[in-house]
Structure 1
Amino acid sequence: MDLNFSPEELAFRDEVRAFVAAHLPDDIQGRVRRGDESQVADDIRRWQKILHAHGWGAVMWPREFGGTGWDKTRQFLFEIECAAADAPIQLPFGLKMVAPVIMRYGTPEQQQRFLPRILDGSHWWCQGYSEPGSGSDLASLKTRAERDGDHYVVNGQKAWNTLGQHADWIFCLVRTDPDAKPQRGISFLLIDMRTPGIRLQPTRLLDGTYEVNEVFFDNVRVPVGNLVGEENAGWTCAKFLLGHERTNIAGIGASRRELARLRRMAAEAVRDGRPLAEDPVFAARIAQVALELRALEVTNLRVIFAEARQQAPGPEASMLKIRGTEILQRITELQVEALGARALEYEGDGEDVPRAVGQYMNLRKLSIYGGSNEIQRNIIAQMVLQL
């Protein structure tokens, strides 16, 4: 297995690098570099429209749905270059999560209605999976959807809803058969966030930011035409979606960017009269996490190679999720250590202090959402050891 990039792939990488350098607005790049999320929704929408105008709005979609049709290697290179240039993320809830579900299980009418609006950035999607008491044990969810003629009437509560305050639509798992076994009585609904009866309550995070919400549904009427797949078969959609989410959480591009920032911070920090990067213990810790990141990247490339041979990923999605989140958390821990006492200022001079401290606190969640890393280890054990 040759994991080296071909000359054509390297030329493509250079094309992406040049495009991002020429078209990423300076103000957006500056905010991403500083960790300033004061205009995050506008920045994500603007960048999506720029990419869409160039034909790169959905690099992971097939051409038949308006995507680029790129193979996994080109997708990988595109995301690496965007992260390295401090471009904002492309919103994953629409592009990488609900869109593949609609492509696979949606009706032609649903595909024509929703996919173009995800592609051009006019619809912002959020996720309605977790509930109080139903996180990693998602099949225990209690939000109900009862059929009433041409509508479902939805009642219940969702938790840890990311960026729902900006959303136009939410995809939800709801219980449509309370008497069936947990996984068999769940359906997958698409719900307009402007529907009467929906209420958001902000959840303030450790760093004081407003990123997640609780979402309450009080007799919310949803057209039956917004059901994806068959009634009571939503668990199939849920598993399909989670496979995409867990692979995306690996975040190799973000880890590479933050590792480069860590090395710079260590070179600039002074301890006992010399740069921290020259301290053998701290240098060894940077080297260790760099080696682990390289191993993760090779594993990701192996998964890409297998998918090119039409081999569906199995436990690899969980492996990438576990190692990717742990590595990025470790890098942010080392960044805070490199700041030393300056980290206590939080609003200190320059961009390193607020960004590093903010990321450190915010990214504690990485090993929990998308299915906690403990759950991922159970999945690996079941798939590999068949326990």
Structure 2
Amino acid sequence: MLQVPFIREHRDLVITRLAKRNIDVTETIDEVIALDEERRRIQTALDNTLAESNALSKEIGMMYKSGEVQKANLLKEKTSQLKEASKTLNEALNATSESLTEILYKIPNVPHESVPAGNTEEDNEEVFREGEIPKLFDGAIPHWELAKKYDIIDFELGNKITGAGFPVYKGKGARLQRALIAYFLDKNTEAGYTEYQLPLLVNEASGFGTGQLPDKEGQMYHVTEDNLYLIPTAEVPGTNIFRDTLLNEIELPIGITGYTPCFRREAGSYGAHVRGLNRLHQFDKVEILRVEHPSNSYKAIDGMVAHVKSILQDLKLPYRILRLCGGDLGFTAALTYDFEVFSTAQDRWLEISSVSNFETFQANRLKLRFKNSDGKNELAHTLNGSSLALPRVLAGILENYQIADGIVIPEVLQAYTGFSKID
């Protein structure tokens, strides 16, 4: 959530930067400023009324002590009027504050100056590419056919048990999935991230804290009776560890990692591009999160990008990095880099990671602050990244590592799988 003082002080910049998202927020921003002016006016009137009431109460007490009962009773009528006025002002203040908060919840984060303008993913900017795209043998097939051929993933069984988008991993497929999770976690902890095991259900406050609510409410599975949500990513429970927290500056930076299943309704997703592992309702992901000093967060995101690059280099998968344009940028992000692996069998790029800096947007919602060197409370910056999402990484491995008589396991994973080939 954007901070009102920032909006007031940088009105034109906020409007200009948000235009990169292809939205005109001029009226909304002016409404925020007007509501804040009204809120401040009411707060001042309330403070003055309470101060006058307190002063009169002291004066009445002194009159009773000195025997001026009649004068004291007359003033008591005045205090009754002031109390009624205070109640009215307090109700108006709460209503105005709620209206202001509701509007602020609907305004996305301000894109960083480096974010390119654009409408769709075609306008994203490629900033890096590495790895040679393998030349597959004649007769190479996509991962959903490989999964059936070698009996390692059963999409039809998952559909029987639950529905489309809930695959069942079997035998060496399940072992490979477990190997990837263990490898990713080991890689992250070696880089200094502390491992957490996190809840898979979160409450409404957690959803609002990281920005899934109200923006993505329709994309989450909702347990209505308990008003809990299945997590769409470990970012939600992981970042909410720090909700309503005041840190000391010396505690920064903080880095955590965690593996969780993730659940997304993916309403409206259909077609050939969502076949197999390309788009699922339940999938596994290992996440990295950081809480940073504002002066260090853009150096930190560069470090996170370099870390994800090292994983893909170990896996020897061809990949590229995109800086997302304003129209493709997530609601809460100020800057996002997407990693994509090339699927040779599908002849297309598959997104496998997003690394984002949210600056103070989440921290403001979370009330995540630190005490700086001047002794003042300051909002921290939050960042997160997939390290990595398993389905499309697995799809890339199956398709790019296939040979005529099986699928070779990347060398870095063989110590985890206990085998070097699926056949």
The TM-score, its normalising length taken from structure 2, stands at: 0.22
> Which protein is richer in helix relative to its size?
1
Higher Cα Rg, which structure: 2
> Which protein is richer in strand relative to its size?
2
The TM-score, its normalising length taken from structure 1, stands at: 0.23
